[in-house]
Amino acid sequence: MHLTFTLNGETIHLDDIPEDMLLVTLLREKLALTGTKRGCESGACGACSVLVDDRLTRACRTKVADIAEHTVTTIEGIRGTDGGLSDLQQGFLTYGAVQCGFCTPGMLIAAEALLRQNPSPSRTEIRRALNGNLCRCTGYQQIVDAIEAVARERNARQAK
Ligand code: FES
Ligand code: FES
């Protein structure tokens, strides 16, 4: 199929793409965007999380045909206004919430999806939003702290 979609703010046109190709394969193998990870490949771990039209989406469960004419944001597209780290990435660093390279991109995408939908989440809502992002190495405490702080900062910036 011919595939047109918006990826991290850029319009992409691709030819000869199998309709049943998975989005994670397209991103990693065809477009060299390896920030989106292959974890369980069964929709259970969240390592392959991306945003499709701002909706948290598993790239390992999404066929490329389903993103035609849609907008996809990967971890590579989450940047600060100056092109550097986003506020969430900086917040993860500040609060010691950065973990391994497998789970962290998906956690950041899940956090971004949450804050786009709910700018002032409670700690319970933050934990619920991270339910689908598995890490057996942490209690999630610092991640929740970081997301809560960034939400507060975003709201304070907007109130100015
Ligand atoms: S790799 Fe997609 S949810 Fe685990
Ligand atoms: S899976 Fe990444 S730190 Fe646990």
pLDDT digits (tens, 9 = 90+) for 69-91: 999 999 999 999 898 999 999 99
Q: Among all ligands shown, which has an atom nearest to the Cα of 23? A: 1
Range of the domain at 121: 87-159
User: Can you give the CATH number for the domain in which 39 is found?
Assistant: 3.10.20.30
Half-sphere exposure of 151 (CA within 13 A, CB side): 22
User: Can you give the CATH number for the domain in which 153 is found?
Assistant: 1.10.150.120
Per-residue exposure over 20-37, b if at least 16 CB sit within 10 Å of its own CB, e if not: ebbbbbbbbeebebebbb
Nearest-atom index, ligand 2, CA of 47: 1
pLDDT digits (tens, 9 = 90+) for 116-149: 999 999 999 999 999 999 988 877 999 999 999 9
- With a pLDDT cut of 70, the percent of the chain lying above it is 100
68 and 93 co-located in one domain: no
Q: Among all ligands shown, which has an atom nearest to the Cα of 47? A: 1
